[in-house]
Structure 1
Amino acid sequence: MITKSIPNMFTLGNLFIGMIAIMLTQSGKYSLAAIMVIVAMLLDGLDGRAARALGCQSEFGKELDSLSDVISFGIAPAMIMYSISFHSVPTALAWIVTAIFPMCGALRLARFNVKPGIPGYFVGLPIPAAGSVLATLSLFHKEISAPYFIVAMLLLSYLMVSSVRYPNFKKIGLPRKAIWIAPWIVIAAIIIAVKFPEELSKLIFIPLVIYALYGVKQNIERFFKRKNHSSEDIYRSKNS
C-alpha cells in the first residue's frame, strides 16, 4: 500500500513546491520562486517514472498529476512573470496575458489526458517545460523589456495548444532500486537551488529554450518536406 502511494507523494510534492513558488512570489523572492518551479519539474518527472517502475499507474494518479501541473507550471510561472515584469504594462493587458498562459496549459493537459498521442512524441509543448521557460525567463527582466515578455508568454501559450511535436523522454525509465534514492536527490536539488537560485535558474533556462525551439524547428522542416513531396507528386501527375 505504501509502495503504491509513492508516485502520488511525488505528485503532491510537485503541488506543494508549486504553492511555495506562488508564496515566494508574493514575498518578492522571485529568483527563489523561479527555481522552485524547476524543482517541481524534477518531481513531476519522478512521479510517472516511479509509477511505471512500481507497476502502479492509475487514472487517479494521472488526474492528480494534471491538477498539480496547472498550479506548479501554469499559475506559478504566470504569477512570477506578472509580478516581476509587467509593471509598465497596462493593467488589462497584463491580466489577460497572465490568464491566457495557465488557461492554455489546462487545455494542453486536458487534451493529453483524453487524446491518444504519437509514440515517442508529445503533441504541443509540455506544460512543465513551458512553465519552467517562463519562470526562468522572468529573471532577465533587467535586460529585456515587458513587450518582449508578452510576446514570449503568448508564444509559449500557443506552443502548448499547438500540434508541434516534441520529443518524449518517458522511455528513460527509473530503476526500481533508485526510487528510494530519489527523495534524497530532490532534497539535494532544493539545497543547491536555495543557495544559488538566480544563477542556477538562468543556467537551466538555456536547455529549456533549446527544447522549446527544437520542436518548432522540427515542425518547420516537416512542413517543407510535405510541401516538397506534394510539389513532386503534382509534377509527376502532370508529366505522366
Structure 2
Amino acid sequence: MFTKSLPNVCTLGNLFLGMLSIIFAFEGKYSMAAIMVIVAMLLDGLDGRVARALNAQSEFGKELDSLSDVISFGVAPAILMYTIAFSSIQPGLAWAITAIFPMCGALRLARFNVRKGVPGYFIGLPIPAAGGVIATLSLFHKNITAPYFIFGIILVSYLMVSSVKYPNFKKIGLPKKGVMLAPLVVIFAVTIAVVFPEELSKLIFIPLVLYAAYGIKQTFDKLLRRSKQAEEEEAEEAYNTKR
C-alpha cells in the first residue's frame, strides 16, 4: 500500500533536496542551497513520525534514513560552506575542513544506529541540526571571515561525535489523521522557503544555533561540577588530615 511507503517517500524527498542543495551551491544559488537543507530537515522530522503513526517502521527505512541524512545534512552543507566561504584559503586546508564535517556526521549516524541511547535524549548533536547550523551559517559570509567559519565547522563536527546529551523531541508524535495533512505542510513550507529563501534561512539559524549551544553549555556545566566536586573533596581531605 502507498500509505505504508509514505515514510520512505519522505526520506527519498529528503535525499532529493540534499542533492538539489549541492547543485544550487555549485551554481552559486546559496540561499536556495541553504533552504533545501532546511526543508529536508522538515521531511526528516516527518518520516519517522509518519512511520510510527502508520505502524510502518522497518529496518529498511532506518537504513535509508541514515544514508539520506549523510547526503542532505553532511555532504550538502559542507559543500555549500566550501563554495561560499573557503575559496580564499589554501586548497588543502579547505578540502580537509570540508571533509571533516560529513565524516563526523557519518560517525554520528553509525553510533546512533548501533548503540542504545538515553531515553529522551540524543548522544551528540543530531546531524540534521548540525547540517542546518552549517547551511544557515554560510549565508553570513558577507559579515564573517573564513577563520570563523573554520572554527564553526570544527566545533559543530565535534559536537556531533561528542557524548553531550541533547533533548530528543521524537516523542512529539503525529496523529494518524494528521498524516494526510503532511504533504500540505511540506508544500506550504516549500512555497514560503522559495519566496523568502535567505530571510527564512537566517531566521531559522537562531533556534538551530541555540540548540547546538545547549550542548556546549551542558559540557561547561559538567566541567564546573567536576571541578567543584574535586575542590570539595580536597578541602574535606585537608580537613580530615588536620584532625
Q: Give the TM-score, by structure 2 length.
A: 0.95
Aligned partner of 2:21: which letter? A
**2:224 aligned partner:** 224
- 1:213 deviates by 0.2
Matches of 1:232 and 1:115, distance apart in 2 = 35
**1:55 aligned partner:** 55
Aligned partner of 1:158: which letter? Y
- 1:236 deviates by 4.8
Gaps of 5+ in 2: none
Q: Contact 1:31/1:197 (CA < 8 Å) preserved in 2? A: yes
Q: Contact 2:122/2:167 (CA < 8 Å) preserved in 1? A: yes
Q: CA offsets per residue over residues 68-127 of structure 1, 9 Å max, x none? A: 000000010001000011111100000010011001000000000001111111111100
Q: How does 1:173-192 map to 2 (within 5 A)?
A: 173-192=173-192
Aligned partner of 1:174: which letter? L
Q: Contact 2:124/2:159 (CA < 8 Å) preserved in 1? A: yes
Matches of 2:173 and 2:231, distance apart in 1 = 42
Is 1:206 the counterpart of 2:201? The answer is: no
Change (3 A) 1:55 1:235: farther
Is 1:157 the counterpart of 2:153? The answer is: no
- 1:65 deviates by 0.3
**1:196 aligned partner:** 196
Q: Contact 1:134/1:153 (CA < 8 Å) preserved in 2? A: yes
Q: CA offsets per residue over residues 175-217 of structure 1, 9 Å max, x none? A: 1111110111111111111101001110000110000001110
Matches of 1:14 and 1:44, distance apart in 2 = 6
Aligned partner of 1:43: which letter? L
Q: Contact 1:132/1:208 (CA < 8 Å) preserved in 2? A: yes
Report which of the two structures shows the higher radius of gyration computed on alpha carbons.
2
Q: How does 1:61-210 map to 2 (within 5 A)?
A: 61-210=61-210
Matches of 2:172 and 2:141, distance apart in 1 = 35
RMSD in angstroms over aligned alpha carbons? 1.4
Q: Secondary structure at the match of 1:144?
A: coil
Q: Contact 1:53/1:173 (CA < 8 Å) preserved in 2? A: yes
Q: Contact 2:159/2:215 (CA < 8 Å) preserved in 1? A: no
Gaps of 5+ in 1: none
Aligned partner of 1:97: which letter? I
Matches of 2:226 and 2:147, distance apart in 1 = 35
Matches of 2:147 and 2:140, distance apart in 1 = 13
- The range that moved more, 25-34 or 222-231, is 222-231
Matches of 2:146 and 2:233, distance apart in 1 = 47
Q: Secondary structure at the match of 1:174?
A: coil
Aligned partner of 1:58: which letter? S
Q: CA offsets per residue over residues 142-201 of structure 1, 9 Å max, x none? A: 000011101111111111111111111111111111111011111111111110100111
Aligned residue pair count: 240
Matches of 1:183 and 1:226, distance apart in 2 = 48
- 1:229 deviates by 3.5
- 1:228 deviates by 2.9
- 1:226 deviates by 3.6
Matches of 1:59 and 1:235, distance apart in 2 = 53
Q: Contact 1:125/1:160 (CA < 8 Å) preserved in 2? A: yes
Q: Contact 1:165/1:219 (CA < 8 Å) preserved in 2? A: no
**1:41 aligned partner:** 41
Matches of 1:109 and 1:125, distance apart in 2 = 10
Matches of 1:81 and 1:29, distance apart in 2 = 12
Q: Secondary structure at the match of 1:181?
A: helix
**1:28 aligned partner:** 28
Matches of 1:134 and 1:19, distance apart in 2 = 16
